[in-house]
Amino acid sequence: MAAMGAAAQGAVFHILTFNFLMELGAPPPDPSTLARAEAYRTDIDEVACHVVYGLRTCFSLASPWVNSSRPVIKAPMAPEEIGTTFSLYTRANATFPAIINPGDLNSVMGAPFVPEKPFIVITHGYQSHGTTDWMKTLIGELLRNEDQNVIVVDWSVGARPPYTQAVANIRMVGAQVAYLLYTLNKYADIPITDFHLIGHSLGAHLCGHAGTHLRDSYGLLLPRITGLDPAEPYFNDTHVITRLDPSDALFVDVIHTDDSPILGFPLSIGMTHSVGDLDFYPNGGHNQPGCNGDINCQHKRAIQFFTESIRQSCPLVGVVCNSYQEFIDGECWGCANDNCAYMGLQATRLEQPALTKVFLMTKERSPFCGYHYRISIEVSNSTEAREHDGEFAIIQLKLTGKKDRSDPMRLSEKSLFYEAGSIHRRVILTYDLGDLQTMGVTFIYPGSILNIMSWRLKKPTLFLKSITVEPLGKDIKWRYCFTETQQHPNREYMLNKDNRC
């Protein structure tokens, strides 16, 4: 790639992009369009107009809607072709929803809304539909949590391949959603502050279009949009008007679960860049535990996290940080100064700038939530420790509290070098331990006759002085000191409350 020209790199990238979309079911575009987006654009009209619920609505097909990141531009399909439907669910009609037609005022006014309750509007993404299993589960959890109004946007015909047409269609469906909310606000006296839009994948950007259209055409600003792993192809490095962004609502929260690059190229199903007020990156935003690299599993994990957040079996709390590595290394810690945020339904705006990144860890299966603890390991700076010249080790901990106990946890996958006087930190996720009682510490020496780097003339020995455990969100520290001045491999050292220091 280093010797490849910029134009050739772009062509290869777009070929890979479209091959990837083919794997999702989309037919390939004309290869001749890949390296000449502008030439392709000049072959079609600059504006496409349709009548949306009696209003003439036009969509630009010029820049920034076409650029090097989205070389193929299509006009949205007509409303009657997409056939968008809006289904209202409440506890009274949780099984058989009421269909709302925004173009029929009687349909809107006669809908069986639960008065003075929130409106949650949910939309699916590419190649999906409004009755998919995850949608049913999410609706059920929302209604179990509260008797409220849940509206499902089904644009499944418009979400079919090719992907480029589905990308175009979310602009039309966004305008339709905006008109529905405007109608409910104007004629049914529903406060705009009652609405919360939730979209997965392409549906996340659809919600962004709805927010933009509602603001620019009707002068109404949505209170909240939640993006569940917004789609990246055709939205990466594009103008904010083409995608979800913080200006689309008073509060935009985003959960990123699949930003893994494919074949080394800057391409993934889910967005890599921050696009909201708060952007949550559970497990770094990729390699979700339990998915084993399955892209589809990772892409849908954002839905599962949000759905599980409604049940509140335990908190999904993250920490504001610059990177996941800094987070797991314990460099970002504590909840003072709006430094922590709940991921999912309970997410709220923080006193932080837009595009703030929030990191957390999850478990590999439901319940995904857990409790974060920062572990700080202090190495002795004694003469004996300095003379030993440090040691390579993997440290395993087993924590027991009044409430629960952890599984044995290795603080690193690979060995670390524990030098005299150094402090090593690591964030772990486990159960709610309560008041810490005992701590089992095992030193695992990674030595091997095949690993020259691990060869030592001296007997493998650690000189640990203390271990400190800090639960996230609590002003508590448990510091345990070793009575032994040195530790040897494959032996568990038990520290109890008598070792607190």
Yes or no: say if 282 and 241 are a contact pair by the CB < 8 Å rule: no
Which listed residue (50, 299, 372, 424) is catalytic?
299
**Cα of 393 vs its chain's centroid, Å:** 33
E strand or H helix at 441, and its extent?
Answer: strand 436-444
Structure letter (DSSP) for residue 78: P
One DSSP character per residue, 123-177 reads E--TT--TT-HHHHHHHHHHHHH-S-EEEEEE-TTTTSSPHHHHHHHHHHHHHHH
Tokens, residue 17: 């992009």
Which listed residue (69, 87, 201, 309) is catalytic?
201
Q: How far is CA 238 from CA 68, 147, 289, 319, in A?
A: 9, 39, 30, 28
Alpha-carbon Rg for the chain, nearest whole angstrom, is 27
What does residue 282 show for φ and ψ, rounded to 5 degrees? -60, 130
Helix (H, G, I), strand (E, B) or coil at 197: strand
Q: Where are the alpha helices (DSSP H) in 289-418?
A: 295-311, 324-328, 383-388
As a whole number of angstroms, the distance between CA 44 and CA 262 comes to 32
As a whole number of angstroms, the distance between CA 129 and CA 155 comes to 7
What does residue 455 show for φ and ψ, rounded to 5 degrees? -70, 130
- Extract the runs of DSSP E, i.e. beta strands, from 385-435: 391-401, 409-410, 416-418, 423-430
As a whole number of angstroms, the distance between CA 310 and CA 196 comes to 14
Please list, in sequence order, all residues whose beta carbon lies within 8 angstroms of the beta carbon of residue 170, skipping any fewer than 6 positions away. 155, 158, 202, 203, 205, 206, 209
Has 268 been annotated as catalytic?
no
Q: Is the dihedral of CA 82, 83, 88, 93 positive or negative?
A: negative
Has 201 been annotated as catalytic?
yes
Has 229 been annotated as catalytic?
yes
Residues that are catalytic:
201, 229, 299
